[in-house]
A and B are shown apart, each in its own frame.
Chain A
Amino acid sequence: MSESGGASNGAQSASTNGATPIQVKAGRHREATLYEALHGAGAGDGRTLAQLREAALRVYESSELPVWRRSGFWSTTLQDLDLEALETSVQEDGVPDVVTRTLPSRPRAGRIVQSAGAVVQVELDAELAAKGVILCSLEQAFEQHRELVSEWYSKRVPIDRHKLEAANAALWTGGAFLYVPHGVVVEQPFEIVYAIDRAGVAQYGRTLVLGGPTSEFRVHEYELAEDFEGQALHAGVFELYLQDGARCRVAQYQDWGRGEVFDVSTRFVGVGRDAYCHWLPALLGGHLVRQHLELAVTEKGGDMAFRGLFFAEEHEHLDVFAVDLHETGPSGGDVHWRGTATGESRASFEGLIQIDPGAQQTHTYLQIHSMMLSPKARIDAIPSVLVSADDVSASHGGTVGELDETAIFYMQTRGLDRAAAVRVIVEGFFEPLVAELQDEALEELVRGRVAEKLAAAREDIETYATSR
């Protein structure tokens, strides 16, 4: 793999102790330069759920479908989405096959499954329930735990930036609510599942997770769809707030299958005082996926590891905007993403480190590695650093690689055929992140999906390799 600007070479570094407070990397159309941290709409202004829904509905009805542009050559547009033709359904029968088929059979703390607009399965370990853990639909949470939910709901997620965010805030049904109280430590993961099993569905998924002080737990979120013909939409919002000393590992397994699924989602993770979050989205498929992912240290001593991997194929379009936000210091951050693309897919990853005024003694690093496997695929990786404090370190780096023919020959001389050698290289490329899932069942699921995608793109990869 060739380095196109390694950790120190060609990377922009912002480690200042002088008076210059703000550093902005050049780039006019870059989202980061226009960026403001998600400010929220819920608890801050005291509106009720009904009032928030109503306000969001007005935005939804009066706004157009969003377009994201950057750098002149990249745009994510929803012009092909026929939103009018989609329906939200709140009557669903049972857990869709794709869920049963995909999710590993393994011990778990609990599971909640939403199909289209309805929650179809909720289960929670009885011992955990006795300790005060709550896992239920968000609708039910608003009925039974109103005070708790109202304090956090939409605390940091806006309802009005664009039509689909507003649609979620106005129209969500079902939803998931997980609360792990003070001091409760849970070993097995909580599974939160959103599934779409047919075309024509608009799914507005809404998840709220609260980690009480010193709680420790894992969340595995799955987003799955059957391989149907036709369009569907998932416009999701995910919020996770970790209070003092809480520790959480969040993994997101996204595979929307071969149907025409549009996914426009916003996710916010807030890390409180001395809390820690390890967050790893695995974005493994979707016709058009736009993710705004924000991991924020909101109080002193918070620390985070923000990982992610993506694999775009065929005609898929993936647009990730990932923010490593430090609102106060001392705090720690470490962002590490890896992605590849085959077919004629497009993937754009914009990573932003933002250190707010006063967030002194923040130390963070962002790296993005991409591997090109196809002549017509394209990956754009755009790192940015916005620093407004003077006693911090923040830098970024990355690599752009292609298949290494020497490595392929090496493995061939050990008896692996070319396809197997390619697979070893690409799996090895993702492995540092996959191993960080620290969950064998989920690791196997991700590895297996990567292998399937490679097998599907075999000819394409071959053509590319021999054409160089």
Chain B
Amino acid sequence: MADLEIKDLHVRTDEREILRGVDLEINRGEIHALMGPNGSGKSTLANTLLGHPSYEITEGSITFKGEDITESEPHERAKAGLFLAFQYPVSIPGVSVANFLRMAINAKREEPIQVKEFRTQLQHAIELLDVDKAFTSRHLNDGFSGGEKKRAEILQMAMLQPDIAILDETDSGLDIDALRTVAEGVQRLHDEQGLGALIITHYQRILHYVKPEFVHILMDGKIVLEGGVELVERLEREGYDQIRQEVGAGTAGAVAAGDSSV
């Protein structure tokens, strides 16, 4: 059984059904890319995996490390080892990055983290993300630039050490330097800590810096195509429209859905 198993997931909001039967398996140490055009349901999947209250699961299940978490509270999923790097990180005025990190780390532990241990970890993460030390005393995401917000997301990921991280369009709005820093950060966490990642993206850019082993293409709420990194190159050449025509998304359904070894 895979660490994260998504089975026949159907999700709707008040207005409409967005995911129409998604199957996906992700293990620790694997890097997956989920690609798809705007409106295909990528962010819905990301938010649903962490239990966002606005999305209703009408069918299917999410299992994490053998536990059914379909109905779990978001913080329980986080404690179990799931992480979501937000597309639009929220600012938390009045709380410094460092203090927030300490709270988040302590939320996962029985005993509060020792000051020294925390400092060591923080120092490591700061170097990894190439941020200033002063960065951690600023209020979380408050007045941060787009690049700083994304760095802060990966900084949190590095500190919280999840088993599986979902990165929701982390590459959007980043200049090339910030993109490289963020992507290399993800790659190193994968290499050093065995992080498993689902990198959700509209573009191919970030995948030049983080190499996915598995690529899934989401269209109209279903995974329509799966493969290895060659799929990224094909997408780059042909674009989504070509693929859409080929798979007949929305009518023919998924091709080899749920089998990530295609």
Q: Which residues of B contact A184 (CB under 8 A)?
A: none
Contacts A405-B53, A427-B94, A429-B94 known; A413 to B74 CB distance under 8 Å? yes
Once the chains are docked, how many angstroms separate the CA of A406 from the CA of B53?
10
Within 8 A of A (CB), among B80-127: 82-84, 86, 89-95, 100, 103-104, 107-108
Main secondary structure of the interface of A (DSSP, over half): helix
Which stretch of A42-50, A85-93, A418-426 is in the interface? A418-426
Complex CA gap A395/B201 in Å reads 46
Q: Is A455 an interface residue (CB 8 A)?
A: no
Centre residue among B78, B89, B92, B94 by max chain A CB count within 10 A: B94
| Residues of chain A lying within 8 A (CB to CB) of residue B92 | 407, 410-411, 424-425, 428
CA distance A420 to B78 in the complex (A): 14
B12 touches A (CB below 8 Å): no
Complex Cα spacing A417 to B104, Å: 10
- Distance (whole angstroms) from the CB of B90 to the closest CB of chain A: 4
Contacts of A420 in B (CB 8 A): 103, 107
CB distance from A60 to the nearest CB of B (A): 44
**Chain A residues, CB < 8 A from B84:** 413
A412 interface residue (CB < 8 Å to B)? yes
Does B73 touch A at the CB level, under 8 Å?
yes
The reply to whether B90 and A415 contact each other, CB–CB distance below 8 Å, is: no
**Is B50 in contact with chain A by the CB < 8 A criterion?**
yes
* Residues of chain A lying within 8 A (CB to CB) of residue B107: 414-417, 420
Residues of B within 8 A of A432 (CB): 93-94
Q: Which residues of B contact A460 (CB under 8 A)?
A: none
> With A and B bound together, what is the CA distance between A429 and B90 in angstroms?
15
Given the known interface contacts A405-B53, A420-B103, A424-B95, the answer about A414 and B90 at a Cβ–Cβ threshold of 8 Å is no
**Bound complex: CA A415 to CA B84 (Å):** 11
User: B234 to chain A: which residues have CB within 8 Å?
Assistant: none
Q: A431's contact among B73, B82, B86, B93, by CB below 8 Å, is which?
A: B93
| Contact B93 A412, beta carbon cutoff 8 Å | no
Q: How many residues of A contact B (CB 8 A)?
A: 23
The reply to whether B160 and A415 form a contact with Cβ atoms under 8 Å apart is: yes
B53 contacts A424, C-beta separation under 8 Å: no
Tell me, yes or no, whether B244 is within 8 Å of chain A by CB.
no
Chain B residue at smallest Cβ distance from A466: B53
The closest CB in chain B to the CB of A428 belongs to B94
Q: At the interface, yes or no: A444 with Cβ under 8 Å from chain B?
A: no
Interface contact B94-A413, CB-CB below 8 Å: no
Distance between B132 CB and nearest chain A CB, rounded to angstroms = 21
**CB-contact partner of A414 in B91, B93, B139, B156, under 8 A:** B156
* Nearest opposing residue in chain A for B95, CB measure: A428
Q: Is the CB of A414 within 8 A of B95?
A: no
Does any Cβ of A come within 8 Å of B133's Cβ? no
A409 lies within 8 A of B53 (CB)? yes
**A413 touching B50, Cβ below 8 Å:** yes
Closest chain A residue to B78, Cβ basis: A415
A404 proximal to B (CB < 8 A): yes
Given B83, B91, B95, B108, which contacts A413 in the complex, CB threshold below 8 Å?
B83
Contact check, A410 vs B86: say whether CB atoms are below 8 A apart: yes
Q: Is B65 an interface residue when CB atoms closer than 8 A count as contact? A: no
Q: Judge whether B93 and A415 touch: CB under 8 Å.
A: no
- CB-CB under 8 A from B73, the residues of chain A are 412, 417-418
Would A424 and B103 count as touching, CB distance under 8 A? yes
Q: Given the complex, which residues of A lie within 8 Å of B160, measured CB to CB?
A: 414-415
Whether, in the assembled complex, A430 has its beta carbon less than 8 Å from a beta carbon of chain B, the answer is: yes
Which residues of A (117-168) have their CB < 8 Å from a CB of B?
A: none
Interface residues of A in 63-91 (CB under 8 A from B): none
Measured between beta carbons, the chain B residues less than 8 angstroms from A424 are: 92, 95, 100, 103
Once bound together, how far apart are the Cα atoms of A414 and B73, in whole Å?
12
A362 to chain B, nearest CB (A): 29
A431 touches B78 (CB 8 A): no
* Residues in A370-420 with C-beta less than 8 Å from chain B: 404-407, 409-418, 420
Q: How far is the CA of A417 from the CA of B100 in the complex (A)?
A: 13
Cα of A404 to Cα of B77 in the assembled complex, Å: 21
| Chain A 425-444 near chain B by CB (<8 Å), digits 1 or 0 | 10111111000000000000
| Residue numbers in B under 8 Å from A404 (CB-CB) | 90
Residues of B within 8 A of A428 (CB): 92-95, 139
Contact with A along B34-63 (1 / 0, CB 8 A): 000000000000000011110000000000
A410 touches B103 (CB 8 A): no
B50 CB contacts on chain A under 8 angstroms: 409, 412-413
* A222 vs B28: C-alpha distance when bound (angstroms): 55
> Chain B contacts of A405 at CB under 8 A?
53
Contacts known (A406-B90, A410-B90); A415 close to B104, Cβ less than 8 A:
yes
Q: A416 with B75: in contact, given A405-B53, A424-B100, A427-B95 (CB under 8 Å)? A: yes
Q: Give 14 pairs: A residue, B residue, CB < 8 Å, sorted on A.
A: A407-B92, A409-B52, A411-B92, A413-B74, A413-B83, A413-B84, A413-B86, A414-B78, A414-B100, A415-B79, A416-B103, A416-B107, A417-B73, A429-B93
Residue numbers of B with Cβ under 8 A of A are: 50-53, 73-75, 77-79, 82-84, 86, 89-95, 100, 103-104, 107-108, 139, 156, 160
Known pairs A410-B86, A431-B94, A432-B93; list 11 more (Cβ under 8 Å).
Answer: A405-B53, A412-B50, A412-B73, A413-B74, A413-B83, A420-B107, A424-B103, A427-B95, A428-B92, A428-B139, A432-B94
